[in-house]
Chains A and B, each alone.
Chain A
Amino acid sequence: MIIPLLQGLKVTLKYLFAKKVTLQYPDEKPQLARRWRGRHVLKTHASGKIKCVACMLCATACPAECISIVAAAEPDNRKYPESYVLDMGRCIWCGHCVEVCPKEAIEMATAYELAEYTREDLIYDKEALLQSPQERYVVEKRKAG
């Protein structure tokens, strides 16, 4: 009867002095794996031009149907998305969009602090998706600009 009690106590004592795994988020930030599926980013070429050619494959692959693209072409026939809307509120973070992209134009970055007060604010447009992956997407900035 006393033995199991002592065994339990042993576990308790062991963890009392072991290294803590609890992270004091948000004061402390976690180390993320490189393949972490965080917020999407649309990538650009070195020239600054958007890589996406508006092929619609990501929108088609998306099981949540939450990407909507309007295609356009530059005078030299180079295609680009005139508008690219991704509704993060509907996204299920499956990564299909990234996997299917033939141009490696969309990636999921490590940014994960995406909570907003309204669902409207979770709708990311092209401009928002073009922000650098580290930056937290600032709603006010979009609203102001």
Chain B
Amino acid sequence: MVTIYVDNMPYQVREGQNLLVACLSLGFDIPHFCWHPALHSVGSCRLCAVKIFRDENDTRGRIFMSCMTPATEGVRISINDPEARHFRASVIEWLMLNHPHDCPVCDEGGECHLQDMTVMTGHVYRRTRKKKRTYSNQNLGPFINHEMNRCIQCYRCVRFYRDYAGGRDLDVFGVHSRVYFGRLEEGALENEFSGNLVEICPTGVFTDKTFKKRYTRKWDLQTAPSICVHCGLGCNTIAGERYGTLRRILNRYNGQVNGYFLCDRGRFGYDFLNSDRRVREPLAKTGQGSGSTALEPISADEALSRLVDIVQNSSRVIGIGSPRTPLEANFALRDLVGEENFSSGMAQAEQDLVSLIVHILREGPAPSASLRELESADAALILGEDLTNTAPMMALYLRQSVRRKPMAVVNELRIPGWLDAAVRGAVQGNKGPLFIAAPIAAGLDDVATETYHAAPDDIARLGFAVAHELDTQAPAVVDLPADRHALAVRIAAALREAERPVVVSGTSSMSPAVIQAAANVAWALHSRGRQVTLSFVAPECNSLGVALMEGRSLEDAIEMAERGQVDTVVTLENDLFARAPRDLVDRLRASCRNFVVIDHCLTGTAEVADLVLPAAAFAESQGTLVNNEGRAQRSYRVFPAPDPIGESRRWLSKAVMARARGRTEEWESFDDLVTRMRQALPVFQPVSNLAPSADARIVGRKIARQPHRCSGRTAMLANVSMREPPPPRDADSPLSFSMEGFQGISPPPLNPRYWAPGWNSAQSLNKFQEEIAGPLRGGDPGQRLIEPRDNGGREYFNAIPVAFSPSDDEWLILPSYHIFGSEELSALSPAIAERIPSAYVAIGEEDADLLGMSEGMLARVEIAGAAESLPARIVADLPRGVALLPKGLERLKGLAIPVRARIGKAVQAEKS
């Protein structure tokens, strides 16, 4: 700690920061543009000027950039010095020379950092009548709108896009006063994190194109804390609604999870909520019993009486839960059908993998890494994951981790870590150790030390070999080729040298051996006294959560249904056709009298149901999700779904009551349900501590979901009814669906938006943090449910697979992943849909030669008797004997991958 003097008052601040960060952490307002907490200082905008005085007798002082000056012991500064203030106002004035002042039509208006800073510096009057320079804009694809005239040349966009996220296609062009930030040619921004430009850019140059279609001012949006449902990482988001439609997703800072950023799938995938695939009213087969009649809308009352009827007259009901649905809904279903009839909704293979991950994280000794911790790892080994496409934010943070080790040089040169340009100059593009073993080139390959492309069994063997190199107790891999052995030795050496290595693996290669190998490596490192962490990618937003409920697998449930005595199957927010082969689901359908589906979108499964109940989707329901780390996080309703759509647990609660059979206790409220869940499944004990309970109040008031400036309250619904309806009640949470309520800084798990007086933009976040880029005031939300046991002796896994050997007539089919397309919900969003690749089969170069195929040629892929013709994609480094099919793409749903298949040239006639 050092003492600094701000306007003659002493303050204690942490050493080694710059003055801007120190002062913002203390709660002072210093205007700034180019500094960003994740991108640090470059000193290019000159807005953060303060006066620095030599000592207490110095009255003149000198102007310095606070973001470029370290906070050293005894430094005396003045923020309010008239000269400094004048300086800052003139900076704004010159930046404004060319700024179009089009706030009324600018999407950034009302949440614009430039507006805030202009007001803060007090610049109000334009003294020149010169013409402003103008630019033409580019079409940057479905996500981002471009309006270059508004640029103030702070360089944040390219620094984020290129330096931080590793993008290549956005750059700065031109010289002097005519610099241009854009692409060389028009076209969609390629980087998976382009959406962050919306929040990074302090002006309205880059704005959310999906939001533009249904534009609403920030102050008119009803918002609530939410959790992203589009992958297993559980990034925290703020979802915003107006007029009953969900309109956008913004990042919600969580110091342990997603920090300042989101991926594009998470930011733009929300639109499935407004898609025409939504189920908006109950549907039923009208001709009772005959399976062929079409689904027709029925009233909510009739749906309910049918549900009650079905449930009451069923002797045995099977419940199929879902890893993309919160714990509470899954538990409600489990409660309805009983523990022995509850299925997790995951196919056996997937369930085994997720359970294995839970087992490894529980047994320890290596704990699970939080997402943000990955950033500070100084060595990483990735086994079998294409992170950019399976867990995008993990890729973003691992990309930063490669800078950790070379930072040693920076420390030696005594360059402060936040002096970004100097740091990058000193590091000279050197990268710390990051090893990737995956079937094909992944998005992180450009920063990898070494990559190894192989079949999952070979990846596992490499992992096992690395573990053995680190600790001879770990089982050795026999007959490993010399080059691979050498690679294992190199990896082991690099990991051994590191202080905080991380081992990353996951379910995407569908191979338990790969996961076990990762565990062995981590445990071996732990035995050598390294602070090693493990990070597993889970396939969906609540995969770990349902795995902890220990339900049956999907196959198990189907078998049970077929054995008989099951009259009813209730499927909860789950498209079974996407998880199991078609015939298996058809068998399930055939084996039960009543097939009830509760879902928000009309999936293939819902289409074959007898009764479909419309469920609320993520922003319309409250629930708890468990992410890949084992962290339980609460997501709240942003707006109540319009009748008759209901939260899944509400439908289920009514069914439970109907089926009561002597059971009297009911769970009307969310908190009751959580309490029941904790009693039934003690592993969920911490879930009730995630956030204040529904009866919590702040100074006697609920927290308002709408900002205090929200407009049009009495006129919004005037066309529906003259009488202003009372705001919907929310009995489940301490948040209100109204602008009335507490508007200040709320407890982090409940905080609906970032806003502070004078800070309308997302940058107001600095008022919500204990210190800049540190934890939120009141602690980062979420609680880990899985911690490793004591460092007891752990038996290494020793089931080392045999090496993969390609055969000449059969290919091993593995899934390939796409950030846009491999996840079913986001794929329903129109903006995401534009970026989904069309189906293909990927084969290696050698295999292509063997088959005489070239890029784009139609290939016939024959899996278990069924054939598909798909255009071939030739992938240079795909190992011989392995072929990839993209996961989740409509035509290829439900394939039980990995599987062996025959591949050949398609007969010309089959070309469709």
Contacts and interface: CB of A to CB of B under 8 A. Distances in A.
A54 B217 CA distance: 10
Interface string B575-609: 00000000000000000000000000000000000
Interface stretch (B318-326, B712-720, B834-842): B712-720
A62 interface: yes
Interface residues of B, number: 21
Given A60-B219, A67-B712, A55 B718 contact: no
Contacts of A57: 104
A56 B220 contact: yes
A87 B723 CA distance: 11
A65 B711 CA distance: 6
A73 B212 contact: yes
Contacts of B217: 56, 60
B715 A55 contact: no
B44 interface: no
B660 interface: no
Nearest to B715: A68
A110 to B, nearest CB: 23
A117 B483 CA distance: 90
Nearest to B109: A55
A64 B243 CA distance: 19
Contacts, number: 72
Contacts of A41: none
Q: Which interface residue of A86, A87, A102, A123 has the most chain B CB atoms within 10 A?
A: A87
B711 A56 contact: yes
A123 B720 CA distance: 11
A97 B5 CA distance: 45
Contacts of B212: 73
Contact of A64 (B709, B714, B718, B719): B714
Interface in A49-98: 53-57, 59-60, 62, 64-71, 73, 78-79, 85-87, 89-90
B219 A85 contact: no
A120 interface: yes
B215 interface: yes
A119 B722 contact: yes
B124 interface: no
Nearest to A58: B711
A85 B711 contact: no
Contacts of B104: 53, 55, 57, 102-103
Contacts of B718: 68, 85, 87, 123
Given A53-B104, A102-B103, A123-B722, A87 B216 contact: no
Nearest to A90: B714
Interface string B209-253: 000100111011000000000000000000000010000000000
Nearest to B709: A60
Nearest to A119: B722
Interface string B681-716: 000000000000000000000000000010111111
Contacts of A65: 711-715
Contacts of A59: 220, 711-712, 715
Contacts of B709: 60
B722 A86 contact: no
Nearest to A71: B215
Nearest to A70: B243
B105 A55 contact: yes
B220 to A, nearest CB: 7
Contacts of A86: 715
A90 B216 contact: no
A59 B715 CA distance: 10
Contacts of A119: 722
Contacts of A55: 103-105, 109
B715 A120 contact: no
Contacts of A102: 103-104
A79 B714 CA distance: 24
Interface in A100-119: 102-103, 118-119
B722 to A, nearest CB: 5
**Shortest 5 CB-CB distances between A and B: which pairs?**
A68-B712, A55-B104, A59-B711, A68-B715, A65-B713
Interface of B: 103-105, 109, 212, 215-217, 219-220, 243, 709, 711-716, 718-719, 722
26 contacts: A53-B105, A55-B103, A56-B220, A59-B220, A59-B715, A60-B219, A60-B711, A62-B712, A65-B713, A66-B714, A66-B715, A67-B712, A68-B711, A68-B712, A68-B716, A69-B712, A78-B105, A79-B105, A85-B719, A86-B715, A90-B714, A103-B104, A119-B722, A120-B722, A123-B718, A123-B719
Interface of A: 53-57, 59-60, 62, 64-71, 73, 78-79, 85-87, 89-90, 102-103, 118-120, 123, 125
Given A65-B713, A68-B716, 16 more contacts: A53-B104, A54-B215, A55-B104, A55-B109, A56-B711, A62-B711, A64-B714, A66-B712, A66-B714, A67-B712, A68-B715, A70-B243, A85-B712, A102-B103, A103-B104, A123-B719
